[in-house]
Amino acid sequence: MVLVYFVGVIAYAWWTDFIPEKRIALQIPQEDDNLVDRDTLSFLNWNIGYAGLGKESDFFYDGGETVTAPKQHVEKNLRGILKTISDIVDSIDFFLLQEVDLGSKRTHWINQFEKISNSLKGFTSSFGKNYDVQFIPIPMTDPMGRVRSGLGLWSKFKMIESTRHAFEGNYNFPHNLFFLDRCFVLNRYKTKKDKELIVVNTHNSAFDDGSLKKKQLAQLKSVLIDEYEKGNYVIVGGDWNQLPSGFGSESESKKSIPDNYPAPGWKCMFDPDVPTCRSLTKPFNEETPTVLIDFYVVSPNVEVLDVNTIDQKFQFSDHQPVMLKAVLN
Q: How far apart are CA 189 and CA 158, in angstroms?
A: 7
Q: How far apart are CA 215 and CA 208, in angstroms?
A: 12
Q: How far apart are CA 85 and CA 88, in angstroms?
A: 6
| pTM check: above 0.85 | yes
Partners of 302 in the β-ladder: 328
Structural domains present in the chain:
2-328 (3.60.10.10)
Residue 248: C-alpha distances to residues 37, 179, 187, 272, 303 (Å): 38, 29, 31, 9, 24
Residue ranges in the chain modelled with pLDDT below 70: 29-33, 175, 249-253
Local structure of residue 316 (DSSP, 8 states): S
Q: Give the side-chain half-sphere CA count within 13 A for 314.
A: 28
Structure confidence at residue 33 (pLDDT): 65
- Helices 71-88 and 112-119: crossing angle in degrees, nearest 10, is 30
